[in-house]
Amino acid sequence: MSLSADEVRKVADLARLDLTDAELALMAPQLSAIVDYINQLQQLNTDGVEPLAHALDLHDVFRDDEPGQSLPPDEALANAPARKGDFYRVPPVFGD
């Protein structure tokens, strides 16, 4: 099975990745080879097998709801690429 350039472009769009044409050209055959390899799983019969999302038999872990110190705004925003006051600054979300 091989992924076409269009399929690879669609996945890149879903992943919000800007890929150059050179990257796209390399990615299609590489992903196709990996997907081919992964397709061996289809040989296995897994009827009635429950998926295992992680190794621990843990569900709904609770801890006491104790008030604590929050990160002060200046520390929380220290790594922001752009800020305005106590907010992260981004381009307009709606419109344009």
DSSP secondary structure string, 12-37? HHHTT----HHHHHHHHHHHHHHHHH
Nearer to other proteins, 46 or 86 (CB): 46
Determine the Cα–Cα distance for residues 8 and 27; give it in Å rounded to an integer: 7
Report the interface residues with other proteins, using CB under 8 A: 3, 8, 11-12, 14-20, 23, 26-27, 30-31, 33-35, 37-38, 40-42, 44, 46, 49-56, 58, 61, 63, 71, 75-76, 78-82, 88, 90-93, 96
Least distance in Å: CB of 6 to other proteins? 13
User: Pick from 73, 69, 70: which is nearest to 87 by CA?
Assistant: 73
